């Protein structure tokens, strides 16, 4: 190789293997990253972040249930309200 080709060749600064960007993390376990948080606190964050979509799905399903079981004098207004809430929660679930 000539000097121009060598100058364009990327050089690795360490011999450590580079992590794959497609690596899948195990469910409910915090990633081992060099950040300034204890593992206990990272685990609490993982637990809270896993609970959030579960709560959103529960609220969405309850809105759909009450949307279908509405009756009485305020049927139409409640029907529209529960349908609106269902659509909002569904968008949050679908986006995640």
18 assigned to some structural domain: no
- In which domain, by residue range, is 43 found? 39-96
56 assigned to some structural domain: yes
54 assigned to some structural domain: yes
10 assigned to some structural domain: no
Using a pLDDT cut of 70, give the percent of the chain over it.
73
The predicted pLDDT at position 60 comes to: 92
- Please give the angle made by the CA atoms of 18, 24 and 27, to the nearest 5 degrees: 135
8-22, 45-59, 77-91 — which is least confidently predicted? 8-22
Contact between residue 94 and residue 57 where contact means Cβ atoms under 8 Å apart: no
9 assigned to some structural domain: no
Domain tally, the chain:
1
pTM tops 0.85: no
């Amino acid at each position: 190789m000539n000097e121009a080709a060598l100058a364009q060749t990327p050089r690795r600064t360490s011999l450590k293997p580079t992590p794959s960007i497609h690596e899948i993390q195990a469910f409910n376990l915090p990633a081992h990253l060099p950040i300034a948080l204890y593992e206990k606190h990272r685990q609490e964050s993982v637990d809270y972040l896993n609970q959030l979509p579960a709560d959103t799905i529960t609220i969405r399903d309850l809105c759909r249930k009450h949307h279908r079981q509405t009756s009485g004098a305020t049927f139409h207004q409640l029907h529209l309200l529960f349908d609106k809430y269902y659509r909002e929660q569904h968008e949050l679930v679908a986006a995640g």
